[in-house]
Amino acid sequence: MKKKKTFAICLATLMTTLALTGCGAKTEDAQTTDGKRQLVISTWGLSEDILKTDVYAPFEEKFNCEIVLEIGATPERYTKLVSDPNSKVDIIDLSQSKAAEGYEAGIFEQIDYSKIPNAKDLIPAASELTKSGYGPAYTINSIGIIYDKEAVGFEIKEFSDLWKPELAGKISIPEITSTFGPAMMYVANDYKGGDIATDEGAKAFEALEELKPNIVKTYSKSSDLANMFASGEIQVAVVGDFAIPTIQSAAPQVEFVSPASGTYANFNTMDINKNSKNKDLAYEFINWRLSNELQTKTASSLNEAPTNSTVQLTEDVAKNKTYGEIADKAKPIDYSIVNPLMPSWIDQWNRILNS
């Protein structure tokens, strides 16, 4: 009897020890040594010093937490999260196209937008994205036309002008696998009056075949355009507005046009890991990232175009950004349609433009 009682006491002691050890491990995972909660954000390694000062530090102070960064390129960070169900990442910053892959894979939290009050102020194109139920866009850029007006000899106002025969051998467009490759497909689709959702890009490729005589080459990096303009190899290009300063530093004579009829947007998004243990804090951070206060500041310090429609920028800060009327007319690309079509598109693109 005494042996049984002793065994029971030992077993109870062991179970209590295990339970306490388990709680201790959980607490250690979620907190720093001084008891602060940790919010792990997976993001690009760009402008870290400014991000820490303008974005992270005020949040840490307000919510008595510590932000831990996981830095890397989009593909490697995304792959790491997908392959690790026990990942401690709470929020991940991604390009719009890669985020769409995550939605399809079911790895992100379906967002309750009632917990993000600042989302009500999103510009139309960014607001459209929230209908998917996933993470919002915190910055936007878009494509336009950059050209040497004197060399061309006439004014370019719309994407449709690219097909003018006077531009034979003068144009460069983004490669299909680049950030704005899919946007170029939408531009071509519009020229022929197609519907990518139903014809899977057939009309767009018809338009690209017609445009081919005007194309000198496609490009993968917008920085390559600077040399191409400076050497006179091209006079016209379709490019994202974020690349304007780089190109104009090499070729000051070029000017950028955002078509009055509208353009196509590209967003950087924030999503919450479905397995995050800090979803309440993640919601608070996303709301902060969308705030008027922060987006006004980062428009200048990080050169990020705001997605909050209440942000008022000076003319100097707004220059070369997708902002105001340009943002209002910027249309989002539906990557739930685009991503499954990309293997076929790459093959057709190479046969038509790179052969």
Tell me phi and psi for residue 174, to 5 degrees: -70, 140
- The model's pTM is 0.84
Residues 290 and 346 in one domain: no
User: Average of pLDDT values for 118-135?
Assistant: 95
DSSP 109: P
Q: Give strand pairing partners of 265.
A: 142
Residues 134 and 172 in one domain: no
Residues 102 and 163 in one domain: no
User: Average of pLDDT values for 309-325?
Assistant: 96
Would you say 324 and 82 are in contact if contact means Cβ atoms under 8 Å apart? no
Residues 82 and 194 in one domain: no
Read off the CATH number of the domain in which 115 is found. 3.40.190.10
Residues 254 and 110 in one domain: no
> Residue 10's pLDDT band (boundaries 50, 70, 90)?
very low
Residue with the larger pLDDT of the pair 85 and 272: 272
Residues 205 and 342 in one domain: yes
23 pLDDT above the threshold of 90: no
Nearest to 37 by CA among 73, 68, 72: 68
DSSP 146: E
Question: How many domains in the chain?
Answer: 2
Does residue 199 lie in a domain region?
yes
Q: Which residue range forms the structural domain that includes residue 97?
A: 30-140+266-331
User: Average of pLDDT values for 122-145?
Assistant: 95
Does residue 302 lie in a domain region?
yes
As given in the structure block, the two tokens for residue 25 are: 């491990």
Determine the pLDDT at residue 30.
56
**For 211-247, how does the pLDDT look when each residue is reduced to its tens digit (9 = 90+)?**
999 999 999 988 899 999 999 999 999 999 989 999 9
**For 69-120, how does the pLDDT look when each residue is reduced to its tens digit (9 = 90+)?**
999 999 999 999 999 989 999 999 999 999 999 999 999 999 999 999 999 9
Does residue 40 lie in a domain region?
yes
> Residue 32's pLDDT band (boundaries 50, 70, 90)?
low
| Chain Cα centroid distance, residue 82 | 18
Would you say 127 and 247 are in contact if contact means Cβ atoms under 8 Å apart? no
Residues 348 and 224 in one domain: yes
253 pLDDT above the threshold of 90: yes
Does residue 17 lie in a domain region?
no
User: Average of pLDDT values for 174-198?
Assistant: 96
| Residue at token pair 């009050």 | 117
Residues 280 and 180 in one domain: no
Residues 324 and 340 in one domain: no
Does residue 3 lie in a domain region?
no
Residues 119 and 149 in one domain: no
Residues 339 and 214 in one domain: yes
Does residue 18 lie in a domain region?
no
- What's the alpha-carbon Rg for the chain, to the nearest Å? 25
As given in the structure block, the two tokens for residue 335 are: 């990557």
Helix ranges, the chain (H): 2-30, 48-50, 57-63, 74-83, 96-105, 124-129, 149-152, 181-192, 196-199, 202-211, 224-230, 244-250, 279-289, 292-301, 315-318, 325-329, 335-353
Does residue 6 lie in a domain region?
no
Tell me phi and psi for residue 101, to 5 degrees: -65, -40
Determine the pLDDT at residue 14.
41
Residues 175 and 240 in one domain: yes
Rounded to the nearest 10 degrees, how much is the dihedral formed by the CA atoms of 303, 187, 246, 249? -120
| Residue at token pair 């739930």 | 336
Specify the 3-state DSSP secondary structure of 8: helix
Determine the pLDDT at residue 33.
59
Does residue 10 lie in a domain region?
no
Q: What percent of the chain has pLDDT over 90?
A: 86
